[in-house]
């Protein structure tokens, strides 16, 4: 066999996108050039790595095994580069992190100092819902994921970072909920705006309702935290959201927190990674940075939470 690292990269990217065209776009190649590289790589095996049925690209079982090996080879190659840079006193390479959407209010503050300290590190940050974030982790596409709800089907390590508090919010003009300490039973009558299935916030909410034997009324289902906030500001309904996500709306007096028994709902932001994963020097350095700096980052950027929760 005489395959190249470039062919491995092309094959991996095509498998991950399940499309030669999309892979070519990501790799800044033409579609015919990517097809030629794939063919040259596949021709070195007697067993097919992929097949096209109709216009859909499929990876064979053998191809999936070669994909895993190809990933390991490229990871080792990158490690050689990282270690070479490290011996020169530099930390370089890619740091890949997937973050649930509300975690976008958390992760940048932990990345800020690290990236300034190591300017040669290239960050790849993907923000999605919990289902997609866990899928990225399971497929070993990222070094870390930031979540509040850990997957139960994966063997993972966890680094707790900070608490996440979910509160009931309404528009400043909402007059339906003016009591200082509403009973939990209000959720049986007030229309709620929900996040979509697969959201960590929704999961925490539904666990609370299940425990309290409450069947909440659903007003609307929206697919982003920003959309929910705008709907609340417009007084379309009320919702349970992360306190982290409404700092600006509170400062601008667009949203108010409704005191309610049983709230805030509490969970923990965690940086998680696969136990079997061999962390690159960059990933290991970031993990150590977060572990040592999480308290100072909290004091610098998040101490406003304590004043509101008192």
- On whether both 292 and 156 belong to a single domain, the answer is yes
Structural domain contains residue 81: no
Domain range holding 187? 163-267
| Domain co-membership, 177 together with 263 | yes
Residues 259 and 168 in one domain: yes
Residues 141 and 286 grouped into a single domain: yes
What are the distances in angstroms from CA 194 to CA 64, 141, 181, 241?
A: 37, 29, 22, 9
Cα–Cα distance between 24 and 34 in angstroms, integer?
A: 6
Q: What is the dihedral of CA 69, 70, 74, 79, to 10 degrees?
A: 0
User: How many whole angstroms from its chain centre is CA 65?
Assistant: 26
For residue 230, being part of any structural domain is answered with yes
- Nearest alpha carbon to residue 145 among 109, 135, 153: 135
CATH number at residue 297: 3.40.190.10
Statement to judge: residues 287 and 146 lie in one domain = yes
∠ CA 283-287-292, rounded to 5°:
150
- Based on the fold, state whether residues 255 and 176 are members of the same structural domain: yes
- Whether 138 maps to a domain, the answer reads yes
Residue 155 and residue 174 share a domain: no
User: Per-residue confidence of the chain (310 residues) as pLDDT tens digits?
Assistant: 788 989 999 999 999 888 889 899 989 999 999 999 999 999 999 899 998 887 788 899 999 999 999 988 887 887 777 667 665 556 878 899 999 989 999 999 999 999 999 998 999 999 988 888 999 999 888 999 999 999 999 999 999 999 999 999 999 988 776 666 678 888 888 889 998 888 888 889 999 999 999 988 877 999 888 999 999 999 998 999 999 999 999 999 999 999 888 999 999 999 999 999 888 888 999 999 999 999 999 999 999 999 888 7
Domain count, the chain: 3
Residue with tokens 């136990």: 275
Task: Name residues whose C-beta falls within 8 Å of residue 37's C-beta, 6 or more positions apart in sequence.
Answer: 6, 7, 10, 11, 29
């Amino acid at each position: 066999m005489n395959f190249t690292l470039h062919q491995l990269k092309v094959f991996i990217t095509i498998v991950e996108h399940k499309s030669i065209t999309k892979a070519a776009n990501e790799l800044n190649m033409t579609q015919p050039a990517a097809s030629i590289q794939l063919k040259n790589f596949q021709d070195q095996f007697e067993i097919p790595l992929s097949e096209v049925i109709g216009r859909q690209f499929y990876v064979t079982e053998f191809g999936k095994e070669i994909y895993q090996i190809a990933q390991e080879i490229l990871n080792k190659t990158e490690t050689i580069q990282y270690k070479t840079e490290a011996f020169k006193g530099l930390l370089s390479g890619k740091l890949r992190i997937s973050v649930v959407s509300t975690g976008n209010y958390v992760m940048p503050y932990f990345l800020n100092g690290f990236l300034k300290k190591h300017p040669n590190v290239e960050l790849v940050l993907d923000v999605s819902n919990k289902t997609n974030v866990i899928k990225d982790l399971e497929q070993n596409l990222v070094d870390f994921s930031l979540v509040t709800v850990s997957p139960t089907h994966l063997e993972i390590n966890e680094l707790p970072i900070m608490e996440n508090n979910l509160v009931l919010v309404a528009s400043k003009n909402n007059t339906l909920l003016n009591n200082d300490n509403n009973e939990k039973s209000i959720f049986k009558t007030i229309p709620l705006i929900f996040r979509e299935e697969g959201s960590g916030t929704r999961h925490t909410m539904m666990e609370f309702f299940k425990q309290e034997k409450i069947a909440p009324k659903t007003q609307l289902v929206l697919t982003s935290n920003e959309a929910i906030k705008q709907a609340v500001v417009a007084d379309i309904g009320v919702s349970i959201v992360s306190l982290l996500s409404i700092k600006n709306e509170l400062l601008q007096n667009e949203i108010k927190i409704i005191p309610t028994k049983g709230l805030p709902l509490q969970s923990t932001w965690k940086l998680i990674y696969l136990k079997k994963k061999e962390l690159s020097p960059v990933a290991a350095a970031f993990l150590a940075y977060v572990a040592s700096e999480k308290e100072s980052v909290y004091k610098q950027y998040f101490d406003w939470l304590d004043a509101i929760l008192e």
